[in-house]
Structure 1
Amino acid sequence: MTWSQKAAVVLQNDHVLLRPVTPEDREPVRAVAMAPEIWRYFVSAVENDADFEEFFDATLADHAAGRRAVFVIVDKGSGRVAGSMSFGNMAEGDARLEIGWSWLGLDFQGKGVNRWAKFLLLEHAFEGLGAERVEFKTDELNEQARQGLRNIGATEEGTLRSFNYMPGGRRRDAVFYSILRAEWPRVKNELAVNAKVSWAGAAK
C-alpha cells in the first residue's frame, strides 16, 4: 500500500476524532465553515454557498485522487464537526509529507482541538507511515498560525518569497516549518502535556 492509501485512517483520542472526509460531510462541514475570518489567510476564499460548494468539491476530488488525505475533525465533547486538516505533498520515496489545509470553526478555536488533531496526525506520520520529516507552511502574515506552529515544537526554516497567489491576487510569502523524526519523541511528550493543559483550561 502507498502512503496515500495508508494515510487515510480513523485517528482518535479522548478529545478528538479524525476520519477521512466523505460526501456526507458536506452539510456538517458547511455548518462551521461559513465565517469569512476563518479564510483570511487560506488559499481558498469561502464567502458564500457557491464558494463553499467549490471548496468542498475540490476537497473531495483531492482526497479521491490521493493528492491529499483529508480528515474531518470531530470534537468529542460536543459531537460536532470542528474543521479539517490534511496530509499532502506526500513524497514517500523521500519519507516526507506536509500537514496543512488546516482550519477550525470559530467555536473550536483556542480550545485544544488544533493541538490534539496535529498530535494525532504527527503520531500517524512518524509511527504509522514512517516519515522522516513532516513539514508545514503558512502565510508570513498569519502570526496566529506561525505562533501555533512554534507552540507545537516545529522549527522555522525560512521564507519562500512570492510563493503563490492568494484570493484577490496578492502573492503570498510562505514560511516553512518542520519536525524531524529524531525530534518527535521530545515533541510528542511536550505536545501531549501542553494539549492536556490547554484542554483543561478550556473546560473551566
Structure 2
Amino acid sequence: MTALIGSALPNLSVVNHWQTHPALTGEHVRLEPLTAEHAKGLFEAGQDPAIWTWLSLRQPADLPEAERMVEAMLADRTRQAWAQLDAKTGRVAGTTSYYQLNETHRILSIGYTWLGADWHRTALNTEAKLLLLTHAFDTLGAQRVSWETDIRNLRSQRAIERLGALREGVLRAHRIRPDGSARDTVVYSMVENEWPPARKRLRERLTAFPPA
C-alpha cells in the first residue's frame, strides 16, 4: 500500500463556510441559528398585526401555530434561518434568513426578515444587516447578495436602497400573497466591489444609536 505523503494528505483544517450556519454576534443583536425553542419568543415578538402585512406568512394565531411556522422554516433546506435576539435582554426580537444560496456562483439572498414592534427604529436591524453582509462578503466570499420585496412595500424598498443596494427590476406575478393575489417582486442586489462603501455607511449609522 502506498502511503499518502506531503501535499497528497487531505487538509482537514479547511472549513467550507458555505456549509456552516454560525451564530453572528454584535453589540445590539445576536443572530442565533433558528431552533424550535425560538417559537415562543417569535410568537410574543410578532403580536403586532402590522408586522405581517408584507410577509409571505400569516400571523400565527397561537403558540402551536407559531411552532408549526418554525417547523416549516427549519424543514426548508434551501434556507438558513436565524432568530434575532436583543443582545442586551436576550429576548427574541424577530427572524431573518439567507436563501437561494449558490456556492458555485457565490451568490445568496437575504430575506424573510422581521422585527417585533419593540425593536423598530432601534440599532438591531442596522447591525443585523451589517453582520449578515459581513459574513456573506468577508467570510463566504460572495460576489453578489440580493433582496426581493413586494412592489407595494415602499418602506422595505427605501430601507434596502439605504444599504447601497441597486434596484435591478421587477419580476411580474412572481409570488402568491397570503390573500391569494399575485405579487410583483422588486429585486435589488449588491456586488462585492459595492460592499466596502456600504460597510462604511452601516458602521456610521450604528454610531447614531446609543450603546447597548
Same fold (TM over 0.5): yes
Shift of 1:170: 1.0
In percent, how many aligned pairs have the same letter? 35
* CA 168–51 in structure 1, closer or farther in 2 if over 3 Å, else same: farther
Find the residue that maps to 2:170 and give its secondary structure.
strand
Shift of 1:152: 1.3
Give the one of 201, 204, 209 matched to 1:190: 201
1:52 paired to 2:66: yes
In structure 1, the partner of 2:40 is 27
Structure 1 unaligned residues grouped into runs of 5+: none
Find the residue that maps to 2:126 and give its secondary structure.
helix
Structure 1 range deviating more: 170-179 or 25-34? 25-34
1:122 paired to 2:144: no
In structure 1, the partner of 2:161 is 150
In structure 2, the partner of 1:10 is 23
1:43 paired to 2:68: no
Shift of 1:182: 0.6
In structure 1, the partner of 2:90 is 79
Shift of 1:2: 5.4
CA distance in 1: counterparts of 2:35 and 2:172, whole angstroms: 35
1:131 paired to 2:145: no
Amino acid across the alignment from 1:102: T
CA distance in 1: counterparts of 2:102 and 2:35, whole angstroms: 24
Amino acid across the alignment from 1:158: G
Amino acid across the alignment from 1:46: Q
In structure 1, the partner of 2:180 is 169
1:97 paired to 2:111: no
Find the residue that maps to 2:69 and give its secondary structure.
helix
In structure 2, the partner of 1:109 is 120
| Bigger share in helix | 1
Q: Deviations over 1:155-204 (max 9, x none)?
A: 1111111111001111111000111101111110111111221x23x98x
Q: For the aligned residues, what is the CA RMSD? A: 1.7
CA distance in 1: counterparts of 2:79 and 2:18, whole angstroms: 7
**8 Å Cα contact 2:144-2:192 kept in structure 1:** yes
1:181 paired to 2:192: yes
* CA 161–194 in structure 1, closer or farther in 2 if over 3 Å, else same: same
